[in-house]
Amino acid sequence: MESLYVIKIGGNIIDDELLLTAFLKKFASIKSKKILVHGGGKLATRLAEKLGIPQQMIDGRRITDAETLKIVTMVYAGYINKNIVAHLQSRQCNAAGISGADGNSILSHKREKAGIDYGYAGDVDQVNTDLFKQLLDCGLALVVAPITHDGKNQLLNTNADTIAQEIAKAMSSSFDVSLVYSFEKPGVLLNVDDENSVIRILQALYYKELKESKKIFAGMIPKLDNAFTAISQGVKKVIIGKGEELDQIIAGKAGTTISQ
């Protein structure tokens, strides 16, 4: 099957124009079909502060009230998304920016968790694989903003890591999918204080041992749990690494590769 890269970037790159420019140069050079999923960075928080709209986070996730939903939609699906698309066009990488509402691409439901009201936050129900395939077959690189909808006229703010994972799983029936999580560290570290301690290949049994011995720091566990879930559901490869090293990650020379 043909290769497809689904790559997620976070705020550490989005918030730094120089890092973003360098990253997108490397992304544009990927010859295979490719989808970039982005988060929101700090711009939404700064705009909310300017407008006097208080922000609340629980377990690293934004509580999305009605006013915050307006802000994240404007920032994520608007400025950030189109800024990335414009960058890619300048690199002769023809790109289309979409949210989950566009083309009915990602259908979600409002998150429900006992005791916690996340507001207008969404969890993914369905990815429109036909639409994604059609757009990819047109030669477009896709840039996906983390705003979805419920099919009932309600937009939902949805975790970008989750969107990347769900797209990767859904597309794995048609492509050999490599899912790349880009973050500020060069990979999964055996010693969180030593960036030279990257675990190059992390298998399920070794991961279990590291969790039991508390050698994996708490913030990485949800990301790694998601990675192993993706592998178990058809994704060919999951790689976690530093966004600035994307070319090396694609070449198999950097980052942590997750395997069963």
* pLDDT at residue 243 tops 70: yes
- pLDDT band at residue 118 using 50, 70 and 90 as cut-offs: confident
Q: What is the pTM of this model?
A: 0.94
Q: What share of the chain is helix, strand, coil (3-state, %, to 5)?
A: 40, 25, 30
What is residue 235's predicted lDDT score, i.e. its pLDDT?
Answer: 96
The answer to whether the CB of 79 falls within 8 A of the CB of 15 is no
Beta-bridge mates of residue 233: none
HSE (side-chain half, CA atoms, 13 Å) at 168: 31
Domains and CATH numbers, the chain: 3-259 (3.40.1160.10)
Dump pLDDT digits (tens) for 129-157. Answer: 999 999 999 999 999 999 999 999 999 99
Measured between alpha carbons, how far is residue 202 from residues 45, 208, 209, 228 in Å? Answer: 35, 10, 11, 10
Please give the average per-residue pLDDT across 13-41, as a whole number: 95
What is residue 201's predicted lDDT score, i.e. its pLDDT?
Answer: 94
SS3 159: coil
Window from 26-40, 47-61, 65-79, 196-210 with minimum mean pLDDT = 47-61
